[in-house]
Amino acid sequence: METEIPVRDIMTRPVITADADLDVLSAAKRMGSANVGSLIIVSRDKTTGILTERDLVRKVIAQGVDPRNLKVREIMSSPVTAIEPDASIRDAANLMLRAGVKRLPVILKGKLMGIITDTDLVSGCSVGLNDILSDLLEMHRENIHFEQPRGTVSGICEVCGQLSDNLENVNGELLCWSCRDGNR
């Protein structure tokens, strides 16, 4: 029988936070100096949003907006999908999959306790790892298959299951170089 590992056992703490009135350039610098991919946005000790690298790329860089003249509140994602610390990592993986997010603030009675990411799920557990990996791979696989890929893409080889930066579409399947060589 599988033991359920609680989120609290693998969550990261302390969480790097910011105020919604911080300018986006300062927020990006904070993310860079802390080597994190997101900031949890708090106001009066209440979690109000999350700022991710994806928000910066899509809403600032791709739009050509000056990050010095933009406040975090204008581009943060809100409301935040969160989880409680006693929830299992299986529950966290399922919630991430359903919500299409890669980061979950861990909140207990309105208080920010930590954060868990898809990477934490993979690196922090061994029990039930295959099921969790399967769910995460499925989440990322859906992102790859919106269009028929042309050229090379990154993802999971559909034959051997290995992560590759050089997948190519062969007869409707995304294959790594090793599987392509064996199937041509």
Q: Is 125 annotated among the ligand-binding residues?
A: no
How many residues in total does the chain contain? 184
List the alpha helices (DSSP H) in the chain.
24-34, 53-56, 72-75, 89-99, 118-123, 129-144, 177-183
Same domain, 109 and 149: no
Dihedral angle computed from the Cα positions of residues 113, 118, 123 and 126, in that order, rounded to the nearest 10 degrees: 100
Dihedrals phi, psi of 77, to nearest 5 degrees: -90, 130
Residue 73 lies in a domain: yes
Same domain, 158 and 93: no
Q: Is 176 annotated among the ligand-binding residues?
A: yes
Task: Report the run of H or E that residue 82 belongs to, with start and end.
Answer: none
Q: Is 157 annotated among the ligand-binding residues?
A: yes
Same domain, 149 and 62: no
Give whole-number Cα distances, 117 to 65, 126, 131, in Å.
28, 16, 16
Same domain, 82 and 11: yes
Q: Residues 79-130: pLDDT tens digits?
A: 999 999 999 888 998 899 889 899 999 999 989 999 999 888 876 555 555 5
Same domain, 67 and 154: no
Beta bridge partners of 47: 42
Q: Residues 124-156: pLDDT tens digits?
A: 555 555 566 666 666 665 555 445 445 667 777
Report the greatest alpha carbon distance in the chain: 60
Same domain, 116 and 173: no
- According to the model, what pLDDT value does residue 158 have? 81
Residue numbers of the domain that contains 152:
145-183
Residue 108 lies in a domain: yes
Give whole-number Cα distances, 52 to 20, 100, 155, 177, in Å.
13, 13, 21, 32
Total domains present in the chain: 2
Rounded to whole angstroms, how far apart are CA atoms 164 and 184? 18
Residue 129 lies in a domain: no
Q: Is 160 annotated among the ligand-binding residues?
A: yes
Rounded to whole angstroms, how far apart are CA atoms 159 and 166? 14
Same domain, 67 and 104: yes
Q: Residues 67-78: pLDDT tens digits?
A: 999 999 999 999
